[in-house]
Amino acid sequence: MAQEVLRVRLADHPQLARPGGAVALKGPGVVLVRGKNKGTLRAFSNVCPHKPKKGRVKVYGEDCQLRCPVHDWTWGRKGQPKGKQAKKPLRELRLVERGGEALIELG
Ligand code: FES
């Protein structure tokens, strides 16, 4: 079965032009994160691994913190749990960056 691919034009999200930038896309349930050191672009499902039916990961503040507002779990740029609360990583989605676009496999 073919994977559904989401195509994102990166110029539409200037937050991703700088290291450490992140954005929660409206609609598809995807959070895009630019690594601070190597600048690697990653995609994660916005479904909170704590309570998947309840929480959604959002991007907060100047430092683009990844956090679910329900119980304040937070994650690092690679989707790893961060802080005292979070216990599970974010689900990473396959992503290819080329030609000013991010191609993300959903599902
Ligand atoms: S539902 Fe997201 S932190 Fe609890």
Q: Separation of 68 CA from ligand 1 center, angstroms?
A: 6
pLDDT tens for the chain, 107 residues: list them: 678 999 999 999 999 999 999 999 988 899 999 999 999 999 999 999 999 999 999 999 988 999 999 999 999 999 999 988 999 999 999 999 999 999 999 97
Instruction: Kindly report the protein residue whose alpha carbon is nearest to atom 3 of ligand 1.
Output: 71
| Single pTM value for the model | 0.94
User: Ligand 1 centroid to 100 CA: how many Å?
Assistant: 33
**CA-closest residue to ligand 1 atom 4:** 71
Q: Is 77 left (phi over 0), alpha (psi -120 to 50) or beta?
A: alpha
* CA 10–ligand 1 middle distance (angstroms): 28
Domains and CATH numbers, the chain: 5-105 (2.102.10.10)
d(CA 8, CA 19): 18
